[in-house]
Amino acid sequence: MRTVPVVRNILEANQRLAEENRKVFRDAGLFVINLMSGPGAGKTSLLERTIDGLRGQVRIGVIEGDIQSTYDADRISQKGAQVVQLNTGGACHLDGNMIKSALEPLDLERLDLLVVENVGNLVCPAEFNLGEDMKVMILSVAEGDDKPLKYPLMFQTSAVLLINKVDLLPYVDCDVKVMRERALQLNGDLTIFEVSCRTGQGLEAWFQWLREQVAMRKAKGDGAKA
Amino acid sequence: MRTVPVVRNILEANQRLAEENRKVFRDAGLFVINLMSGPGAGKTSLLERTIDGLRGQVRIGVIEGDIQSTYDADRISQKGAQVVQLNTGGACHLDGNMIKSALEPLDLERLDLLVVENVGNLVCPAEFNLGEDMKVMILSVAEGDDKPLKYPLMFQTSAVLLINKVDLLPYVDCDVKVMRERALQLNGDLTIFEVSCRTGQGLEAWFQWLREQVAMRKAKGDGAKA
């Protein structure tokens, strides 16, 4: 009984901070994505591809979340995007307070899209709102088509699922049709893209979806799905 | 300040339960492995291969940890091994108390090796002792050679690293030599096996290592590395 109130306080405090972040993002006219996946599914590779694909069209900023190291932020920085590295020092997910602390170095007025790359973990990040417009998750076909059965919350809380590394399909035991069906059973509203960040396959549809989301946010102020 | 004592109590209570489990395992002459990896790195496939490879030589029991579903336990059960499914109901790792609760249905006297398959997560499971002799981790080459930089604790606490899916090396951007070097920089005592659970490549060396660990435990009682 003793730990339950502590957990509730943490989630309530996080929700309050997430709402503060959301107000900052809306005031700046930003579309904000919380990008989640297990380790090595391709979050940073997707960001590199997306920054290149939307160059001159959508101004992208990135908050990189890792337990330690600046390896991912260095990769993003080389693409010329605004980037902040958050080191959690052991924590397995980002929270609202960490995001709040990461905003100061970013020039939000010069961004259209902010992507928060969460810690690589299919479990804990799904529980913490950061103030984002949408949660977007990546699942690599190398992880197998059984993952929706075993990590349901992330599929239930995400608006978009990117099935990545489809170039590996001839070499792995993964049925994308089964993966899609299992994901849609958990969340019938999921928008699904099949992509390969290695070959570029399927990425134009994802870029177009992002262009539309950013345009909707600019047009309506707060019209995008919260 | 207020949450620190709670966290310390949790870890202390877990350590106490882990020691109780360890005594049960030692009394039964069991060698016990805590098997950890990110989602889809191949824990269950390794277990299927290992049960087949050591059939008639080493009697293997499995505790399957998942957030929900009995999918993995069903796979193991089809191999004819004793198996218990633990559903954490959301929790991102197993702990000593969960393992204690899972032991009752197992006939430990008729086992030589007990493998606890942890929740797929490269972060949290590394912090919780279950009473095992050794932590063993799997990293798939599809996850990339940068993972030791970003998830150091699991490499530091493991005795064995299995680099899995080496059959995919021609198709992914992963340098196994770099992966090995980065892992050994974190933990120079790591025993490393390069394997493919899909093709069977490299698995005989892993089987032989297991045979030796089980024989040492039987010979010395408590002689295996704790």
pLDDT at B1: 40
pLDDT at B2: 44
Options 1.10.3720.10, 3.30.360.10, 3.20.20.150, 3.40.50.300; which CATH number does B3-220 get? 3.40.50.300
CA A117 to chain centre: 5
Place of tokens 């940073």: A44
Pick A40's closest partner by Cβ from B68, B121, B147.
B147
Mutation choice for B interface testing from A36, A123, A153, A169 by most B CBs within 10 A:
A123
CB contact under 8 A, B168 and A173: no
pLDDT at A224: 46
Closest by Cα among A130, A2, A20 to B3 = A2
3-class secondary-structure state, position A210: helix
User: Per residue in B97-131, pLDDT tens?
Assistant: 999 999 999 999 999 999 999 999 999 999 999 99
Question: For a pLDDT cut of 90, what percent of chain B falls above it?
Answer: 89
**Chain A touched by B14 (CB under 8 Å):** no
pLDDT at A5: 59
Label residue B223 by pLDDT band (50, 70, 90): very low
Residue B225 pLDDT exceeds 60 = no
CB contact under 8 A, A39 and B151: yes
CB contact under 8 A, A40 and B144: yes
AA letter at B158: S
Residue B138 pLDDT exceeds 70 = yes
Q: What angle do CA A160, A167, A32 make, to 5 degrees?
A: 25
* Domain boundaries along the sequence of chain B: 3-220
Pick A92's closest partner by Cβ from B72, B92, B172.
B92
Pick B140's closest partner by Cβ from A68, A142, A149.
A142
Give A2's contacts in chain B (Cβ within 8 Å): 6
pLDDT at A220: 76
Give B121's contacts in chain A (Cβ within 8 Å): 92, 121-124
Mutation choice for A interface testing from B44, B85, B122 by most A CBs within 10 A:
B122
B130 in Cβ contact with B114 (< 8 Å): no
> Nearest-CA distance from B171 to chain A in Å?
7
Give the span between the Cα atoms of A34 and A136, in whole angstroms: 6
Pick A123's closest partner by Cβ from B72, B121, B142.
B121
Mutation choice for B interface testing from A48, A153, A171, A197 by most B CBs within 10 A:
A171
User: Which three-class secondary structure string do you get for chain B?
Assistant: CCHHHHHHHHHHHHHHHHHHHHHHHHHCCCEEEEEEECCCCCHHHHHHHHHHHCCCCCCEEEEEEECCCCHHHHHHHCCCCEEEEEECCCCCCCCHHHHHHHCCCCCHHHCCEEEEECCCCCCHHHHCCCCCCEEEEEEEHHHCCCHHHHCHHHHHHCCEEEEECHHHHHHCCCCHHHHHHHHHHHCCCCEEEECCCCCCCCHHHHHHHHHHHHHHHHHHCCCCCC
> Nearest-CA distance from B88 to chain A in Å?
11
**Chain B touched by A151 (CB under 8 Å):** yes
> Nearest-CA distance from B215 to chain A in Å?
34
ipTM of the complex, rounded to two decimals: 0.91
Residue B140 pLDDT exceeds 50 = yes
**Residue A68 DSSP one-character state:** S
CB contact under 8 A, A151 and B120: yes
Give A140's contacts in chain B (Cβ within 8 Å): 40, 142
Nearest CA in chain B to A4: B6
Close Cβ partners of B177 (under 8 Å, ≥ 6 residues apart): none
| Per-10-residue mean pLDDT, chain A, length 226 | 61 93 96 98 98 98 95 95 94 95 95 98 95 98 97 97 98 98 98 98 98 93 48
Give A67's contacts in chain B (Cβ within 8 Å): 123, 150-153
Give A122's contacts in chain B (Cβ within 8 Å): 38-39, 120-121
Nearest CA in chain A to B9: A3
pLDDT at B11: 83
CB contact under 8 A, A149 and B71: yes
**Chain B touched by A168 (CB under 8 Å):** yes
Pick A40's closest partner by Cβ from B6, B38, B123.
B38
User: Per residue in B159-196, pLDDT tens?
Assistant: 999 999 999 999 999 999 999 999 999 999 999 999 99
What pTM was estimated for this model as a whole? 0.93
pLDDT at B5: 60
Place of tokens 């809380």: A157
Task: Round the average pLDDT of chain B to a whole number and report it.
Answer: 94
In B80-99, the residues whose Cβ lies within 8 Å of chain A are 90, 92
Least confident among A56-65, B10-19, B41-50: B10-19
**Chain A touched by B46 (CB under 8 Å):** no
Label residue B50 by pLDDT band (50, 70, 90): very high
What number of other Cβ atoms are within 10 A of residue B189's Cβ?
Answer: 10
pLDDT at B10: 81
